[in-house]
Amino acid sequence: MPANLPPQYYEADKRFRNAKDPDEKIAAIQEMLGIMPHHKGTDKLQASLRAKIARLSQESERTLATYRRAGFYIRREGAGQIVFAGPANTGKSQLLAALTDARPDIAMYPYTTQTPMPGMMAYKDIQIQLVDTPPLGHRSVRILLSSVLRVADLIAIVVDLGQDPVYQVEYTLTELAESHIVPPSGATPEVTADGTYIRRMAIIGNKSDLPGAFSHLRQLRERYGASFPVSAVSALEGEGLTELASALYDALEIIRVYTKAPGHKADMVEPVILRRNATLGEAAEAIHKDFKRELKYAVVWGSGRFQGQTVSKSHVLQDADVVEFHV
């Protein structure tokens, strides 16, 4: 070990040794490489860390290939990926069928759904991917599903409003915590030091048509309303679906930005999807990684103080802005 490594290096090294899967290990090593001073004295260490990354990448690919074969890998499509989670029979599959063109099996008995199934939900002029999943509770399901849940943009906890809703949410949160997946609390990074995955979450109370649904919904809102968006729907009767789509879009915390070339009409068909509060510079980067550097300024219609305002890279964009880039 070369001397003079900063304390953060040893913290990252500890994370590496505690990491449970190859991707977490790779992230820790990359952090170590970033922290350590680069000079002759660290050449050997750098080379050995890079070799470790290469080996772990192969391992990670193999794991992913296994998941793909098993169907527990869902390719992300559209403006965001929302993964359903919850106990059996809460109507997750019915909800996917109601909101998308996907046709999952729906049945009165539990464990009808055995693998995750995606579908695309149209919202305004974009498509949001929804993923139906097998119910949590089985260790094998939990292990395989964790790879899907950990990368979701939003986890939608689906509960049955005909039954004790708080119990169902607590059960789901406990199951997710077993996979090291927790909701955000304050300003926290996506993956914390101890390998916990922080994922945004929303609660969907389904079966609003059943007796008792009204008071169960009130219980949900009282208990969780401050921490999560809570929606009520009946997937069976098609009640509340429009409001749900809009609540899910809001919970994704994304914006749509339309681009325009100077002298041309704006492309109002395919918006660029950005995180809420994204800047003009980030919009340019999303289009092409070198574009941010080349960009001089832009003209914005929508969020500017007046229409057609010239703005710089640090300008914060809003949903539905039209942006004309100048290089």
Ligand X SMILES: Nc1nc2c(ncn2[C@@H]2O[C@H](COP(=O)(O)OP(=O)(O)O)[C@@H](O)[C@H]2O)c(=O)[nH]1
Q: What residues make contact with Mg ion under the rule CB under 5 A?
A: 92-93, 113
Would you count residue 106 as binding ligand X (CB under 6 A)? yes
Minimal distance, residue 206 CB to ligand X, in Å = 5
Q: Which is nearer to Mg ion, 81 or 113 (CB)?
A: 113
Span of 17-25, 90-98, 190-198, 276-284 interacting with ligand X by CB under 6 A: 90-98
Q: Where are the alpha helices (DSSP H) in 137-269?
A: 139-150, 165-178, 213-224, 241-252
CA dist 289 and 285 (Å) reads 5
Would you count residue 168 as binding ligand X (CB under 6 A)? no
Single-letter amino acid code for the residue at 110: P
Out of Mg ion, ligand X, none, which partner does residue 236 contact, by CB within 5 to 8 A per kind?
ligand X
DSSP-assigned beta bridge partners for residue 205: 159, 232
Which of these, 243, 305, 235, 320, lies nearest to 274 by C-alpha position? 320
Q: Which residue is nearest to ligand X (CB)?
A: 91
Would you count residue 93 as binding ligand X (CB under 6 A)? yes
Would you count residue 59 as binding ligand X (CB under 6 A)? no
Structure tokens at 252: 């994704």
Structure tokens at 290: 């070198």
Out of ligand X, Mg ion, none, which partner does residue 89 contact, by CB within 5 to 8 A per kind?
ligand X
Extract long-range pairs of 284-289: CB within 8 Å, 24+ residues apart: 284/313, 284/325, 287/259
Would you count residue 102 as binding ligand X (CB under 6 A)? no
* Three-state DSSP class for residue 78: strand
Estimate to the nearest angstrom the gap between the alpha carbon of 264 and the chain centroid. Answer: 34
Q: How far is CA 326 from CA 259, 296, 297, 299, in A?
A: 11, 6, 5, 8
Out of ligand X, Mg ion, none, which partner does residue 209 contact, by CB within 5 to 8 A per kind?
ligand X
CB 197 within 8 A of CB 152: no
Would you count residue 81 as binding ligand X (CB under 6 A)? no
Out of ligand X, Mg ion, none, which partner does residue 126 contact, by CB within 5 to 8 A per kind?
none
SS percent in the chain: helix, strand, coil, step 5: 40, 20, 40
Minimal distance, residue 107 CB to ligand X, in Å = 5
Q: Which is nearer to ligand X, 19 or 244 (CB)?
A: 244
x/- map, 265-304, ligand X, by CB under 6 A: ----------------------------------------
**Residues at the contact surface with ligand X, assessed by CB under 6 A:** 88-94, 106-108, 112-113, 135, 206-207, 209-210, 234-236
